[in-house]
Structure 1
Amino acid sequence: MVRYAATEIEPAKSARARGAYLRVSFKNTRETAQAINGWKLQRAVTFLENVKEHKEAVPMRRYAGSTGRTAQGKQFGVSKARWPIKSAEFLLGLLKNAEANADAKGLDTGALIVKHIQVNQAPKQRRRTYRAHGRINLHTCQTPATSSSSSPRLRRLSRSPRRLLAVRTSA
């Protein structure tokens, strides 16, 4: 059985996909995943395809050391951005897998939202290949993703800390 970090998401209204021991840069994949977290699934797929064609850039926020500046980062409010093509390809495959899983469950794929996406470092390889000029082969990463159909938002009725009431409202 596979464990996921997000356990509170309803399994009947969500579809999951997971990638393990991916031969792709952890830092670039983490930044790409954080860029699409919370987006509609169709928009995330379009964004990743645009990243592969250098039409949109992925903002580099945490792992931004020695990253060049580009004007395409303006839409995210940053100046440092990149086009991690390999990470975009892996995440695109992951989202298409989640979309196929949602279709198999009978969910509306047009209303899916990327509710939770997380990138973890995979265990280091035992034997690393040291290359010329101090290079070492890339470390792998593991990526679980959850796409969920849009659910109604909860609105607070009472601000009292003892009594919290919630009512479903349309989004």
Structure 2
Amino acid sequence: MVRYSLDPEKPTKSCKSRGSNLQVHFKNTRETAQAIKGMHMRKATKYLKGVTLKKQCVPFRRYNGGVGRSHSRINPYMSSPCHIEMILTEKEQIVPKPEEEVAQKKKISQKKLKKQKLLVPE
């Protein structure tokens, strides 16, 4: 059974996704996740497309020291098993109350109007 580290606030309005033992760069994945954390879905996809097209960049805030070349002193630690969890929650939309409408008069057909005129005594 899969156990998530975090339960969503509204389970009925959320979806969860999880990947285990993914061979990815841990540091790159962590910084990308921090960059899109809290974004709306459309904004996040637009941002990531900009990153792949090299129009925008992902800021490295934690793992930014010593990112240069090692000049063969050590082997690259490029990929390690990484576990990724993603939880998407639907945004709550506030719908304004409709204004109270003035009671409209019922439309009366021409046929009924003629009958009423004939029945009215003069």
| The two structures share one fold, judged by TM-score above 0.5 | yes
User: Is this contact kept in 1: 2:8–2:87, CA < 8 A?
Assistant: no
The CA deviation string for residues 33-71 of structure 1, in whole angstroms up to 9 with x for no partner, is: 000000001111111111111111001111111358xxx
Indicate whether 1:142 and 2:94 are aligned. Answer: no
Looking at structure 2, the residues matched to 46 and 142 of structure 1 have their Cα atoms a distance apart, in angstroms, of 24
Query: Structure 2 regions of 5+ residues with no counterpart?
Result: 96-122
What is the aligned-residue RMSD (CA, Å)? 2.2
1:136: how far off?
A: 4.4
Q: Which amino acid aligns with 1:135?
A: N
Return the TM-score normalized by structure 2. 0.65
Give the structure with higher Rg (CA).
Answer: 2
* Count of residue pairs brought into register by the alignment: 91
After the TM superposition, list the runs of 4 or more consecutive aligned residues in structure 1 that deviate by more than 2 angstroms: none
- What SS is found at the alignment partner of 2:80? coil
Looking at structure 1, the residues matched to 25 and 44 of structure 2 have their Cα atoms a distance apart, in angstroms, of 20
More helix by proportion, 1 or 2?
A: 1
Query: Structure 1 regions of 5+ residues with no counterpart?
Result: 69-131, 153-168
User: Is this contact kept in 1: 2:31–2:60, CA < 8 A?
Assistant: yes
Looking at structure 2, the residues matched to 48 and 61 of structure 1 have their Cα atoms a distance apart, in angstroms, of 17
1:10: how far off?
A: 1.8
Question: Residues 22-171 of structure 1 correspond to what in structure 2 (within 5 A)?
Answer: 22-67=22-67, 133-137=73-77, 138-151=79-92
Looking at structure 1, the residues matched to 48 and 64 of structure 2 have their Cα atoms a distance apart, in angstroms, of 19
More strand by proportion, 1 or 2?
A: 1
The CA deviation string for residues 121-161 of structure 1, in whole angstroms up to 9 with x for no partner, is: xxxxxxxxxxx752145222111000001137xxxxxxxxx
Q: Percent identity?
A: 38
The structure with higher relative contact order (CA 8 Å, sep 6+) is 2
